[in-house]
C-alpha cells in the first residue's frame, strides 16, 4: 500500500550539501507569506496564552460570520480544515460515501476510520479531469455523504457555481450530506463565480470547508472552519472531538487575517500573473499542464521520477502517484514568485536534459549523480 502523504515536508534529512536552501513547491502556500497583521496578532499579549482558549471560539466565529455575511451560529472552527473533516465524519458516522478521484486523501482517511464504504467516481482523464454529469448520476439514494473539492486538489479544476448548485440539488434529492471543500477558492480571480456560499441558506444539508492555511500562509498555526445553515448540525460537530481544538494564538491570527482584504486582492493578482508565466514555462519544457485556476498547477511529466530528481537540486514538488488513478508521472507544483518559478523551470530543464543525455549513453545512476 502506498503511504498517503501531503506536501510541505521540509524536515526530512535528504543528504543535500550543507547550506542548501530547500525551495518548497510541494505546499500551496501564499508566496507573499504571512501578513504582518497576523504576525503582530500572534506576538501581542503573550501572557493571555496562560489561560485555556475559548472552546466555543465565539470571537473568531463572529469574525468569520461578519466576513462572509452569515450568522456566527453557522460556523464551526477547528485545528485546520482537516480537523473539521474528521470531526464531521466522527459525528455522522456515515455508512456509504461517494468521492471523486483524484481528490484530497483526508476525505477517505477520515471515512475509513469509521468503516464507511467508499465508492469512487473517476474523473474523466480524456476530459482533462473536468467533472461531468456522470458524477451527479453516481449520487444514488443510500449514499450518506459526498465530498467535493472546488477547485479540485490536485488538478486545480474549478467548477462554476451553476454546476455546483446542481450538485447541491442532487444531494438534497438523495438525502446525501454534501461537504464542499472551498479551501482554495480564495485564490480564484472571480471567487463569486465558483463559491456555493450564496446558496447555503436553501441547502442546510451542505457544509462548506474553508481554511486560513493557504491564503495567509498559516500552515504551522493550524486553523480552519466549516459553514452550514443547519445550526444543530454545526453544534454537533462542535461537540465532537477534543474541547480545545483551536488555540488562543490561532484564533487571534484568524481574526487578524480576516481584516486583510487588500492582501487577498494583491495575492489574487500575483497568482494570476505567475500562474500564467509558470504554465507557459512548464509547457515549453515539454510537460502537459492542466488548466487549473488555483495557486498550483497539475502536470504530467515525461519522466516518472521528476520529484526525486528535483529533490537532489533542492527543489520539492508534490508527486501525485499516491492519488487514486494517477501514476508517478503526475505532479503538482505551487505557484510562487517570479524568482522561485524561474528556479523551478531551470531545475526541470536541467533534469530533462540530463535524462535525455543519460538515455543516449545508457548512463547509470552514478553518472546521473555526477552530472548533478
Write out pLDDT tens, residues 79-128. 999 999 999 999 999 999 999 999 999 999 999 999 999 999 999 999 99
Domain count of the fold of the chain? 2
Nearest to 148 by CA among 158, 228, 92: 158
Which whole-number Å values give the CA distances from 42 to 49, 263, 267, in the listed order?
10, 18, 21
> For residue 361, is it within any domain?
yes
User: Are both 111 and 198 inside the same structural domain?
Assistant: yes
Predicted structure pTM score: 0.93
User: What grid cell was written down for 280?
Assistant: 507557459
**Amino acid 368: pLDDT:** 47
Cα–Cα dist 121/127, whole Å: 14
User: Are both 200 and 313 inside the same structural domain?
Assistant: no
Domain region containing 96: 36-259
Bridge partners of 165, per DSSP, are none
- In the DSSP assignment, the letter for residue 1 is -
Cell 504571512: give the residue: 34
- Side-chain half-sphere exposure of 250, counting CA atoms within 13 A: 25
> For residue 1, is it within any domain?
no
Cα–Cα dist 227/74, whole Å: 5
Q: How many angstroms from the chain centroid is the CA of residue 236? A: 25
Q: pLDDT tens digit string along 10-41? A: 778 777 777 777 899 999 999 999 999 999 99
Task: Among 236, 259, 282, give the residue marking a domain's end.
Answer: 259
User: Are both 255 and 274 inside the same structural domain?
Assistant: no
- In the DSSP assignment, the letter for residue 219 is T
Tens-digit pLDDT string for the chain (372 aa): 344 567 777 778 777 777 777 899 999 999 999 999 999 999 998 999 999 999 999 999 999 999 999 999 999 999 999 999 999 999 999 999 999 999 999 999 999 999 999 999 999 999 999 999 999 999 999 999 999 999 999 999 999 999 999 999 999 999 999 999 999 999 999 999 999 999 999 999 999 999 999 999 999 999 999 999 999 999 999 999 888 999 999 999 999 999 999 999 999 999 999 999 999 999 999 999 999 999 999 999 999 999 999 999 999 999 999 999 999 999 999 999 999 999 999 999 999 998 777 666 655 555 545 555
DSSP characters over 65-109: HHHHTS-GGGEEEESSHHHHHHHHHHHH--SEEEEEES--HHHHH
User: Are both 235 and 91 inside the same structural domain?
Assistant: yes
Q: Three-state SS for 275?
A: helix
User: Are both 176 and 228 inside the same structural domain?
Assistant: yes
> For residue 108, is it within any domain?
yes
User: Are both 245 and 362 inside the same structural domain?
Assistant: no
Residue 147: φ, ψ to 5°: -105, 140
- Asked if 53 and 248 touch (Cβ cutoff 8 Å), the reply is yes
User: Are both 174 and 197 inside the same structural domain?
Assistant: yes
- Asked if 160 and 112 touch (Cβ cutoff 8 Å), the reply is no
Q: Which CATH number goes with the domain that contains 298?
A: 3.90.1150.10
- Asked if 187 and 217 touch (Cβ cutoff 8 Å), the reply is no
User: Are both 233 and 353 inside the same structural domain?
Assistant: no
> For residue 5, is it within any domain?
no
Residues 6+ apart with CB under 8 A from 1: none
**Amino acid 359: pLDDT:** 65
> For residue 2, is it within any domain?
no
Rounded to the nearest 10 degrees, how much is the dihedral formed by the CA atoms of 130, 88, 200, 231? 180
Q: Three-state SS for 79?
A: coil
**Amino acid 30: pLDDT:** 98
Task: Among 213, 231, 259, give the residue marking a domain's end.
Answer: 259
> For residue 7, is it within any domain?
no
> For residue 11, is it within any domain?
no
Q: Which CATH number goes with the domain that contains 234?
A: 3.40.640.10
User: Are both 221 and 303 inside the same structural domain?
Assistant: no
Bridge partners of 315, per DSSP, are 23
User: Are both 246 and 281 inside the same structural domain?
Assistant: no
Task: Among 201, 235, 259, give the residue marking a domain's end.
Answer: 259
> For residue 18, is it within any domain?
no
Q: Three-state SS for 228?
A: coil
Residues 6+ apart with CB under 8 A from 126: none
User: Are both 72 and 213 inside the same structural domain?
Assistant: yes
User: Are both 298 and 250 inside the same structural domain?
Assistant: no
Amino acid at each position: 500500500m502506498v503511504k498517503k502523504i501531503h506536501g510541505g515536508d521540509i524536515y526530512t534529512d535528504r543528504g543535500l550539501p550543507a547550506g542548501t536552501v530547500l525551495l518548497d513547491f510541494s505546499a500551496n502556500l501564499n508566496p507573499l507569506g504571512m501578513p504582518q497583521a497576523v504576525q503582530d496578532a500572534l506576538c501581542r499579549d503573550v501572557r493571555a496564552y496562560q489561560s485555556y482558549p475559548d472552546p466555543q471560539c465565539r470571537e473568531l466565529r463572529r469574525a468569520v460570520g461578519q466576513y462572509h455575511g452569515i450568522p456566527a451560529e453557522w460556523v464551526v472552527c477547528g485545528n485546520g480544515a482537516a480537523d473539521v473533516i474528521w470531526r464531521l465524519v466522527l459525528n455522522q458516522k456515515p455508512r456509504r460515501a461517494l468521492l471523486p478521484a483524484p481528490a484530497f486523501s483526508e476525505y477517505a482517511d477520515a471515512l475509513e476510520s469509521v468503516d464507511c464504504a467508499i465508492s469512487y467516481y473517476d474523473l474523466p482523464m480524456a476530459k482533462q479531469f473536468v467533472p461531468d454529469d456522470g458524477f451527479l448520476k453516481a449520487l444514488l439514494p443510500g449514499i450518506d455523504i459526498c465530498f467535493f473539492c472546488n477547485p479540485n486538489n490536485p488538478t486545480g479544476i474549478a467548477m462554476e457555481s451553476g454546476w455546483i448548485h446542481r450538485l447541491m440539488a442532487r444531494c438534497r434529492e438523495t438525502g446525501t450530506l454534501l461537504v464542499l471543500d472551498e479551501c482554495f477558492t480564495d485564490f480564484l480571480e472571480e471567487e463569486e463565480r465558483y463559491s456555493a456560499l450564496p446558496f447555503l441558506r436553501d441547502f442546510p444539508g451542505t457544509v462548506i470547508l474553508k481554511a486560513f492555511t493557504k491564503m495567509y500562509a498559516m500552515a504551522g498555526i493550524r486553523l480552519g472552519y466549516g459553514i452550514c445553515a443547519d445550526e444543530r448540525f454545526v453544534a454537533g460537530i462542535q461537540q465532537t472531538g477534543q474541547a480545545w481544538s483551536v488555540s488562543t494564538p490561532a484564533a487571534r491570527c484568524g481574526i487578524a487575517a480576516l481584516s486583510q482584504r487588500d492582501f487577498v486582492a494583491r495575492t489574487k493578482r500575483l497568482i494570476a500573473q505567475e500562474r500564467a508565466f509558470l504554465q507557459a514555462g512548464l509547457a515549453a519544457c515539454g510537460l502537459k499542464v492542466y488548466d487549473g485556476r488555483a495557486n498550483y498547477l497539475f502536470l504530467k511529466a515525461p519522466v516518472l521520477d521528476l520529484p526525486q530528481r528535483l529533490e537532489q537540486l533542492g527543489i520539492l514538488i508534490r508527486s501525485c502517484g499516491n492519488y487514486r488513478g494517477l501514476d508517478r508521472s503526475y505532479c503538482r507544483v505551487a505557484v510562487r514568485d517570479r524568482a522561485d518559478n524561474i528556479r523551478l523551470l531551470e531545475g526541470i530543464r536541467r533534469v530533462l536534459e540530463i535524462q535525455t543525455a543519460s538515455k543516449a549513453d545508457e548512463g547509470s545512476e552514478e553518472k546521473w549523480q555526477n552530472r548533478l
